Amino acid sequence: MKIVIKPEKGLGKIEVEISAEIWSEIVRLSERYGVPPGRVITLALTGEFKESKGELEKLEETAKELEGKVWELEKEYAPLRFKAYGLSEDNKLLAIELSGLMAENNGLRRFLRQPINRNPELRKLISYYLQG
């Protein structure tokens, strides 16, 4: 396989012939680290790569342990979130019922020719529970 290396500026370019074995290794590294093959070649030519000192495996183990802890916490808090959702829905239903009772009360007050109660604080509370 032929690789053509062009500079960012200027006209010079380098053509290199590489074997299929080397290309397959480049592709393997590219897939392993999630970078394009061109970046693997650039890193190899410029020597910008760093040798792993065994820290990668240690970090992967730590990440797996933390993921396990996260799932344990998820198991613990999932029922609480479900109960909170149920309470939120109950609050919405109560707010709807209270709104209806307030409207009925105001209708009766109109019928009896009494002053209507506006209750702005209560209406704000009802709208809060209906939004959430």
CA atoms of 130 and 89, how far apart (whole Å): 9
Q: What are the residue boundaries of the structural domains of the chain, listed by start?
A: 2-46, 56-131
Phi, psi for 113 (deg, rounded to 5): 55, 45
Per-residue pLDDT of the chain (132 residues; tens, 9 = 90+): 777 777 777 777 777 788 888 888 888 988 988 888 888 877 777 776 666 667 778 888 999 999 999 999 999 999 999 999 999 999 999 999 999 999 999 999 999 999 998 889 999 999 999 886
At residue 63, the 3 state secondary structure works out as: helix
Can you state the angle between helices 55-111 and 120-131, rounded to 10 degrees?
140
